[in-house]
Structure formats: C-alpha cells, structure tokens
Amino acid sequence: MGFNHLKFMKIAIEEGKKAGQIDEVPIGAVLVAKTCEVIATAHNQMIRLSDPTAHAEILALRSAGRISGNYRLAGTTLYITVEPCVMCMGAIINARIYRVVFGAKDPKWGAAGSLYDFASDRRFNHHPEIIGGICEEECKRLMQEFFKQRR
C-alpha cells in the first residue's frame, strides 16, 4: 500500500492553519500508520498551553502514544509542515518513527538536514527515513504570511 504524501501533507497544512488562527506559529503534524490510517493530528500550541514542548510533532506523538498504549510508534510516518527541530527529532528517534515527511526546510532550527542531520547520525540507535519538500511552497507561504502579519 503506497503512501499519498500530498494527501497527508494537506492534512498537516490544515492543522498548521489552525495554529495560525490561534496566534501560534502555523505548524501542523499528522501521524500515519503503516495501513495509511491517520493516527493523530496536531498543531503548535506552545502559547495556549504555556508549554515550550507543545510543538505539533510532540503533541501528535503524545496523542498517538496514548491511543496505542506505547511510546514506540514503529512503522509510522510523521508529516510536518516544517522541518522538525532538535527537540522534535529527538522525540521522533525515541519513538522509532519510520519516516518523516516535511514541507519547508528550517535553516535556523532544522534537525532533519538543514542545520543538523539527526537521521544520518550513526551515533543514534534509530535512523528515520527523511523526505523533504512535499508541498514546500505552500508550507513556506503559510509561515511567511503568518510572520508578515505579525510585523
């Protein structure tokens, strides 16, 4: 069964828009099972929850862990509108996520190839597959419009 990266990234983009509507940085995430079933969706909520760890990725992983009863989410694919940061890549590796698919690169914080490349670091015990650039322009635009409105 093949993954439809565009379909799942569109869901992540909708989650990102939800974050922007509540004045959070518009990043969305979707965790998908091997069966192509959506397990969890989330968007940034750091301000709303007064929690610096409330990134979309972390919230999606927490939700999936509660649903599955397991912190290991082997075989899953995580779709994110923006390249994950160091904290989120650490959680992704700990959760044993099989694949990370992201939209826009993050040259200031990215840990999936831009600033750091955690997935290729052989010192870690897990190495998720990384696919970047899915709906890249739409994901970039979502971020640019958000920050343009704030200036």
Q: How far apart are CA 23 and CA 120, in angstroms?
A: 34
Whole-angstrom CA distances from 116 to 17, 31, 84, 99 are 26, 22, 10, 17
Element (H, E) at 131: strand 129-131
Token code pair at residue 80: 């994110």
Q: Is 136 a catalytic residue?
A: no
Whole-angstrom CA distances from 69 to 72, 73, 128 are 9, 10, 21
Choice among 15, 24, 57, 83 that is catalytic: 57
Q: Which residues belong to the active site?
A: 57
